[in-house]
Amino acid sequence: YGMALAQAQHQVRQLADMLEAQGADVKYAIHPVAGRMPGHMNVLLAEADVPYDKLYEMDNINDDFKDTDLVVVIGANDVLNPAARDAEGTPIYGMPVLNVDEAKNIVICNYDLNPGYAGVPNPLYEMKDKVTLLLGDAKESLNKLMREANRVEEENSKKSGIDLDNILKTAKRAIIVPGYGMALAQAQHQVRQLADMLEAQGADVKYAIHPVAGRMPGHMNVLLAEADVPYDKLYEMDNINDDFKDTDLVVVIGANDVLNPAARDAEGTPIYGMPVLNVDEAKNIVICNYDLNPGYAGVPNPLYEMTEKVTLLLGDAKESLNKLIQKL
């Protein structure tokens, strides 16, 4: 119910997206009496476009908690209170609860440490060895978790030996490669903003447009026109492919198949023989994709393994672009 009070369902979805982008399998555990009416949680999560098949009723998920690395609780108390199993004489005694206490690590985003609606103290709050309490507004607590996830991602990038800050600030030739993921995230305005900032630092910025990027001919052109990107900065593949080898920085936004080097040698795959953008020839590459899954053709992309010059920013493309903009 605390998620409902804080209207934090969109932050919940955003956190889940970030965890998934890091390779986690994320599920939502729905207790039948969570909230103030049947289906209350389902409705709120639907507002945030959480897929219905990720919502699990208690009986279908309770056995999973013992094998779960992380449980994030948002404003729930009675429905996961272990006291329901043994606190005889209390209003919740005998009530089936979610087996949250069996998980390896638990983060609880609750407003305070007061008992839930039933007035029964929750032993979870005393399990210091595996429970982290984030008290106060649920939105702010979730934002803390996301900032921490970003910090870890930054540290991993530094460990790879790639100095992204320096690359962004010293690039003289840059190419932006938009794809269908930019359309899904409606991130064209952030793309234009990033390009403007690079140009303000003296970089020559071009946009590489693959003929089948997106879901229709001209899809990328239309979106970039919405963001007032000058038409003369858009280059068709044949007119820009030779430039990649002399390019300091390529920023990919939601493109995969159209720049997958496997198209050159992965015989028998749907993209074999398809002309692709020579992104892999650039000196440094930043890929802003939702996850590491193969593109529409289902062919793994070797770029994701080029750790010596590729920086992966996974999750929502707008968020990833905002990170780059903040660095500049």
User: Which residue(s) pair with 108 in the sheet?
Assistant: 73, 133
> 309 φ, ψ to 5°?
-140, 5
Question: Nearest Cα to 28, choosing from 37, 15, 38, 36?
Answer: 15
Catalytic residue among 243, 257, 280, 316: 257
- 53 among known catalytic residues: no
User: Which residue(s) pair with 206 in the sheet?
Assistant: 175
User: Which residue(s) pair with 289 in the sheet?
Assistant: 314
4 within 8 A of 75, measured Cβ to Cβ: yes
Which residues lie below 8 Å from residue 319, measured CB to CB, with a gap of 6+? 14
192-228 in b/e burial notation, b at 16+ Cβ within 10 A? bbbbebbeeeebebbbbbbebbbeeeebbbebbeeee
304 within 8 A of 269, measured Cβ to Cβ: no
CA angle at 154 for the pair 151 and 157, rounded to the nearest 5°: 155
Question: What are the DSSP calls for 235-278, one per residue?
Answer: EEHHHHGGGGGG-SEEEEES--GGG-GGGGT-TTSTTTT-----
CA distance 282 to 153: 23
> Which positions are catalytic?
257
